[in-house]
A = this chain, B = another copy of it.
Amino acid sequence: MPADVQGAARIMAKQAFVFCGGAIVEQVFARVDPSVRVELVAGEAERVERGRLLVRIAGNARALLAGERVALNLLGRACAVATLTRAHVDAAGPHLRVVDTRKTMPGLRAIDRYAVRCGGGHNHRNDLGAGVLIKENHIRAAGSVGAAVRAAKQHAPHTLRIECEVTNHAELREAMAAGADAVLLDNMSDDELREAVAIADGKLILEVSGGVTLERLPRLASIGVHLASVGALTHSAPSVDMSMLFDV
């Protein structure tokens, strides 16, 4: 490939999905060659059909080839996560937040988080410093649910809520009594969740974790919990099909 050939290409959808990540394409080509021009045609969070023109790219042909694979691999990842998230959010309806987990692809957390939001989901805390989540091991170290919650309230910045993982109703009551702001209800059945909602009585944020499927989401919404966290959004999003075609 001679160094000075100019070219143009289009990224096209080869199936229906939720598009997002146009800025990734801009960034990839800006690093390869700042003179490459990228025109984003599809909008962020847009549901696209098979055959939709997504992005136009023009510039030095070597630069287009150099950036192609990285851009497509990253863009495809973002769209895959957004598409799977969208399906879950649609199933959950307007009153139940779908949130991601820490099971993101190493190195791609920022992209995964962004794609979840484009799919209509919400992010859980972005890193260990952006929220206090007391888990089983912390409870064991502190001695009890109550002791763990009280210690967290004593030390944590006032800008963070205190959330505590609980596995039964006794622990839920103990967390409430100690002043927790939220609880993560771990692997509970629908009936257990219904009783948890009654116990909480609107005084706590309730998050469901474990066994959350597309099918179960409408039921969870009707039970009245506030959030459902879904690891699959980022650890099992199936690829979406797109390609970059060079104009003849």
A205 at the interface (CB under 8 A from B): yes
State the interface size on chain A (CB cutoff 8 A): 57
Can you tell how many copies of this chain the complex includes? 6
Which residues on the B side are within 8 Å of A95 (C-beta)? none
**Smallest CB–CB gap between A131 and chain B, Å?**
3
Cβ A163 vs Cβ B157 within 8 A: no
Cβ B103 vs Cβ A141 within 8 A: no
A61 at the interface (CB under 8 A from B): yes
5 A-B pairs with the lowest CB-CB distances in the bound complex, closest first: A131-B159, A107-B107, A236-B239, A125-B159, A235-B239
Could you tell me which A residues sit within 8 Å of B by CB distance? 1-2, 5, 7, 61, 65, 69-70, 72-74, 76-77, 97, 99, 102-108, 122-127, 129-133, 136-138, 140-141, 155, 157-161, 163, 182, 205, 207, 226-227, 232, 235-236, 238-239, 246, 248
